[in-house]
Amino acid sequence: MLRSWSFEDAALRPATRGWVLAGLLVAGSITAWLLALTPETSLARTDTTILVALEQIGLAAVAVRLRGRTRGLFVVAALAAVLVSVLVADAGSLSRLVLATSAYTYLVLYAAYAFEPRLMRALLAVVVAGSVLAGLFSPLGLRPVVWLATVGGISVAGWVIGQLVTRLRFYATIDSLTGVLTRTAFDAVAMTAIAGARRRAEPIVLAVIDLDEFKSVNDQHGHAAGDVMLGRVVDAWRGRLRAQDLLGRIGGDEFVLLAPGTTMEGAARLLVDLAEVCPLAFSAGLALAAPGEDVAALRRRADAGMYEIKRSKPRPVA
């Protein structure tokens, strides 16, 4: 059955999130070096600080390599939080403790941007647990006031920002009437799916679908009835589509469907299945992805096929 999108998995992020994490880790490494070399910070040169700075550089390289893998980036961020906890445990003065705990900020804010709520909460758990354990092992001991003012505040702010980012991303990527992907979101996900099909040497077909009778529904019953009809159409299709199929709404009554691992013949049969359950007649064009072809070019070919079929149909008599 076609996948249903929700707040929990509305995070459609580009692979650049790996570069963002790498940049933050490099910046953190440079900051640690500067603090270790600057007497005014009371963060005198220590083997622990220098070692953590070097390890952050290594994690930055891993983040770049895993930039397209959400779980891999989560592991990198969690390890970076562990390194910050090492600095907290090594803190020998109150000022150094505050500086060390402030390093959690960048990781928490990154998680709010890059991860879906489940992984965001998991990273917050790593930060909270790591900071508490580090405080217990620190020569200064666990300072509740300092912890609440730094880690506690960072965690609450990160959770709130994560909730807001998830909702903004959801409303930007999910069509509110039908629950399928918007045009921009569809193109982003389809690009990844097409690249994966090429790596696996599998066929992948894109279909552009236009509802022939939708205008008459709006004209005769009003736009509210048209909105209800769009939802009925998508609900009818859901049972005939697979979880790996992608469905998006790219216009008022125009949809786009991507079928991975499907030949042109298989896609044609799928359209017959969709027509059987659809409450409205539709016209559809198909295009098999060619080597090196992007989503826009593939959609143009399918769109041309759809209009050719629509023009070949008899016009309704007024």
Strand partners, 282: 211
Lowest-pLDDT range of 30-34, 88-92, 111-115, 147-151: 30-34
Q: Reply yes or no on whether the pLDDT at 35 is more than 70.
A: no
Question: What's the token pair of residue 267?
Answer: 């896609």
What domains are defined for the chain?
A: 7-173 (no CATH), 183-312 (3.30.70.270)
Predicted confidence band at 14 (pLDDT cuts at 50, 70, 90)? low
What pLDDT digit, counting tens, does each position of 255-299 carry? 999 999 999 999 999 999 999 999 989 999 999 999 888 899 999
Q: What is the largest CA-CA distance in the chain?
A: 87
Return the pLDDT at 79. 93
CA distances from 152 to 141, 162, 310 (A): 17, 15, 60
CA distances from 215 to 52, 138, 252 (A): 63, 70, 10
CB 28 within 8 A of CB 79: no
Which is catalytic among the residues 253, 273, 294, 303? 253
Rounded CA gap, 51 and 79, in Å?
14
User: Could you tell me the pTM of the whole model?
Assistant: 0.63
What pLDDT digit, counting tens, does each position of 205-228 carry? 999 999 987 888 877 888 888 888
Answer yes or no: 212 catalytic: no
